[in-house]
Structure 1
Amino acid sequence: MPEKARVGVLISGRGSNMAALLYASRLGDCPYEIVLVAANDPQAPGLKLAAGEGIATFGLSHLGMKRAAFDAIITAELERAGVTHVALAGYMRLLSPEFVAHWQGRCLNIHPSLLPKHKGLHTHQAVLDAGETETGCTIHIVTPELDDGPILGQARIAVLPRDTPETLATRVQYAEHQLYPRVLADFVTANTRPEALLARVRELALALPAAAEKRSHGSPGFYVEGGKFFAYFTDNHHGDGITALLLKVSGLDEAAMLIEQDDSRYFRPKYFGPAGWVGIKLTDGPDWAAIEAMMAAAWRLCAPKRLAMLPI
């Protein structure tokens, strides 16, 4: 089981979206855990809720502090808790460029409109004033621009004839509580999903001289033009439930040595093992530097002599 992502949640008030993330994290298949809830108001009700659930909390008023200095304190607390990803959940404070840069690509925000429409505050009144027939909520990656950044997910609700900003806010919040845990779970596992792992394997394999790709044995295979296959990517091939890279090695002895050294990572692949191949599981924090070196060695074993001596 891959190690769970460690999420820090930033709030300013009662933290209803934080609670939705927290309770979703208790499900057995959830790929993240909440390790810290921090607020820019030490009296934020959400801090009490989180503490009651056994989650570490941190509260500090930002009043009288420069934005960068306050954010540096928050970052230090997140780092101390070993946070890998940050989720903003009703955090009513603009972030400093330094904070955004530090957590670039690892910080999400939820906004109560269908972005790019109605950025900023008073979104529900803006929806009604515009006469729109639907609204909703958006999860996006945080960038320096307010309520900007790549959109990861949206949920839509109808605007009813008698709606007010308050009734819209209530229904949008229901949608938020459904959307945020799912999007966060997808986000923290993005680099470990089969399509992402295949993309990384493909990048490494095709960077080698005269390397090409075609399907073989039902899987994407990588070979040297004029030579042989040196690598395969497999995902649940033959129903084994494993996402892995299969690499050609020098022989059965090398394969046995690798498996003996770490049988949680290396394995003897079905049908390939007797021919001097080893499998490397990819779903539990791959060591890509080691994989790159092993792939280069596999390429040399399979390349024709005119290529095998090339520096790579």
Structure 2
Amino acid sequence: MPEKARVGVLISGRGGNMAALLYASRLYDCPYEIVVVGSNDPDAAGLQLAKAEAIPTFAHSHRGMKRAEFDAIITRELEKAGVTHIALAGYMRLLSAEFVNHWQGRCLNIHPSLLPKHKGLHTHAAVLAAGEAETGCTIHIVTPELDDGPILGQARVKVLPGDTPDSLAVRVSYAEHQLYPRVLADFVSAADRPDALLERVRGLALNLPAAAEKLSHGSPGFYVEGGKFFAYFSDNHHGDGITALLLKVSGLDEAAMLIEQDPDRFFRPKYFGPAGWVGVVLTDGPDWAMIETMLGAAWRLCAPRRLAMLPY
């Protein structure tokens, strides 16, 4: 069986969806495991359940801290646990753009409505006030916009005569506990899909200062505004059957050294190789920390001097 995805779950309360994800992860064929549960509330009830099930936990109060500063602490805890994907499960804290960009394409959220309807809080009251015949829940990829991002799955729940926000919330929670484990399992199983790999590359590349994206040579390319391209995402380009990241390196010697050290991971890309580029195969579990470092080095090689001297 392939190596399981390592999921970190963030909660703020009782952790009902966290529990659903945890117990589903113990089925023999589940493609993910819960490796850590974290919270912005040290008193969150769900932390006790995770501890009882021998899942490592962490908690930090966000009070008095700037959003990006607090989120940097959360990222460090998640990375310490070797997390590959994040599942927000009743995490009642808005995330900073820095956090979302760092985890782009790897962070999911569950929302108790049929998005794009009824974003934000008090969704069940809003459904009843609107006189709607059905509601439900939605799993989506997290983006900087609140309750936005590509929808991965939805489950529908009928609104019954006499429903209150509380009674509706109970039935929606049943649907959530069925939907979230299934969608997360499908999502992590597709981690080697070109679209998922591009999202992860995009998150790392566009997190660099003044980085932008546009199509070039038929592929998504990443460049520094006022400078040059420093990376391209290549999927079966020129019919080579490879999904890869093409990166600017310091020269032919560095490219040759990388290829010699790991010929299964690095290669000399057609047309780009003679100009001092190297290809990095993205399938079969690449070292994403290494790729992030290499993207930063490529960015510095291609950025205007005024930007290249800046820390990031």
Instruction: Please report the TM-score for the alignment, with normalisation by the length of structure 1.
Output: 0.64
Q: Does 1:178 align with 2:209?
A: no
Distance in 2 between the 1:206 and 1:9 partners? 36
CA distance in 2, matches of 1:65, 1:4: 34
Specify the structure having the higher radius of gyration (Cα). Answer: 1
1:121/1:58 CA distance change after superposition, 3 Å: same
The aligned amino acid for 1:71 is: D
Partner of 1:66: 66
Give how far 1:60 is off: 1.1
Identity %: 77
- 1:191 CA displacement: 3.2
CA 1:169/1:286 → structure 2, altered by over 3 Å: closer, same or farther? closer
Per the alignment, residue 20 of structure 2 pairs with 20
C-alpha contact 1:8 1:36 (8 A) present in aligned 2: yes
Partner of 2:125: 125
8 Å CA contact 2:153–2:183 kept in 1: the answer is yes
Residue deviations 1:114-171 (CA, integer Å, cap 9, x gap): 0000000000000000000000000000000000000000000100011000000000
Amino acid at match of 1:207: H
Give unmatched runs, 5+ long, in structure 2.
Answer: 198-233, 243-263, 265-282, 287-312
CA–CA distance in 1 between the matches of 2:237 and 2:20?
43
TM-score by length of 2: 0.64
Equivalent runs, 1:191-202 vs 2, <5 Å = 191-192=191-192
Q: Tell me if 1:207 matches 2:238.
A: yes
Shift of the 150–125 alpha-carbon distance from structure 1 to 2, 3 Å rule, reads same
Maintained 8 Å contact 1:37/1:50: yes
Poorly superposed stretches of 4+, deviation over 6 Å: 193-197
Number of the residue aligned with 1:94:
94
Give the equivalent residue in structure 2 for 1:78: 78
Tell me what 2:46 maps to: 46
- Where do 5+ consecutive residues of structure 1 fail to align? 198-202, 212-221, 223-230, 232-261, 263-283, 288-312
Amino acid corresponding to residue 284 of structure 2 in structure 1: G
Per-residue deviation at 1:286?
A: 6.5
Please report how far the alpha carbon of residue 204 of structure 1 lies from its aligned counterpart in structure 2 after TM superposition.
Answer: 5.1
The 8 Å contact of residues 42 and 61 in structure 1, kept in 2 or not, is answered as yes
SS of residue matched to 1:207:
helix
Change (3 A) 1:33 1:64: same
Question: What is the one-letter code of the residue matched to 1:169?
Answer: A
Q: Name the SS of the counterpart of 1:23 in structure 2.
A: helix
Aligned to 1:285: 284
Task: Measure how far apart 1:192 and its partner are.
Answer: 4.2
8 Å contact 2:39–2:58 — kept in the other structure?
yes
C-alpha contact 1:2 1:285 (8 A) present in aligned 2: no
Tell me the residue number matched to 2:33: 33
Matched, 1:152 2:152: yes
Deviations 1:91-116 (A, max 9, x none): 00100111101100000000000000
Aligned length, in residue pairs: 216
Give a deviation string over 1:193-219, Cα, whole Å, max 9, x none: 79999xxxxx755514xx8xxxxxxxx
Partner of 1:277: none
